């Protein structure tokens, strides 16, 4: 009896994972609002068109599961590539260390490229419920990064630093997810840079934006009134 229960449990878990990966593929390639749960169930190979509802309840449940799966893999990658001897703390090392797991994701998982595209779509998602869920999940990471940047950029006002961090996050997800577009840009083929050099140039770009002098005077009183 125990063996039968274990077999049924494994089959259930395998079905859930297959459906989750199909959802990731379709959401990444077509968008979060262009794909129904019924379609995911069917294209995921389930004989039951309501399988997605059974396993995830609704679209928010699917998105939550996908974020958890991707976040867990990024954490594994970050641990695997962490150097034994920590480099000297610097803005460059902080940015590069943060971005490296994203760059590694497509190499370590078959679904990695779709995972990046999915994160890219989430970064610009305007649906209030989805945005709230994403913000809750991302808040600890964003706050740690903001704290690290505060140490490296002590003269930059916090609201300005955080605004730039949000600009940076959106650009990073879109840029890393859609790197293939470099083969056909208005300025020609720019895909000849290797992965490490591309990452270094991306870090240069981000550091330049974070450290750039602001041409707009920061007014704390005005900021407080608008919060």
> What is the DSSP secondary-structure string of 140-155?
HHHHHHHHHHHHH-TT
The model carries a pTM of 0.83
Q: Sketch out the chain's domains with CATH numbers.
A: 9-57 (1.10.10), 72-218 (1.10.357.10)
Residues contacting 128, CB < 8 A, separation 6+ = none
Q: Are 51 and 44 in contact (CB under 8 A)?
A: yes
Query: What is the band of 83 on the pLDDT scale with cuts at 50, 70, 90?
Result: confident
Q: Encode pLDDT of 58-82 as tens digits.
A: 999 999 999 999 999 999 999 998 8
Q: Encode pLDDT of 141-165 as tens digits.
A: 788 888 888 888 898 899 999 999 9
């Amino acid at each position: 009896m125990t063996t039968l229960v274990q077999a049924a449990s494994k089959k259930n878990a395998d079905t859930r994972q297959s459906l989750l990966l199909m959802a990731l593929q379709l959401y990444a390639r077509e968008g979060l609002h262009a794909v129904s749960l019924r379609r995911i169930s069917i294209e995921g190979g389930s004989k039951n068109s309501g399988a997605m509802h059974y396993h995830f309840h609704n679209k928010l449940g699917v998105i939550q599961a996908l974020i958890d799966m991707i976040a867990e893999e990024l954490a594994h990658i970050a641990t695997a590539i962490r150097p034994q001897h920590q480099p000297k703390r610097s803005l460059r090392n902080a940015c590069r260390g943060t971005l490296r797991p994203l760059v590694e994701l497509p190499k370590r998982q078959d679904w990695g490229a779709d995972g990046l595209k999915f994160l890219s779509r989430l970064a610009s998602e305007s649906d209030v419920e989805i945005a709230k869920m994403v913000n809750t999940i991302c808040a600890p990471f964003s706050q740690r990064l903001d704290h690290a940047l505060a140490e490296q950029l002590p003269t930059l006002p916090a609201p300005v630093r955080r605004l730039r961090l949000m600009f940076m996050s959106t650009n990073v997800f879109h840029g890393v997810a859609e790197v293939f577009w470099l083969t056909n840009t208005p300025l020609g083929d720019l895909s000849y840079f290797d992965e490490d050099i591309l990452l270094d140039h991306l870090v240069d770009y981000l550091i330049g934006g974070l450290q750039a002098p602001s041409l707009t005077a920061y007014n704390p009183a005005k900021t407080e009134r608008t919060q």
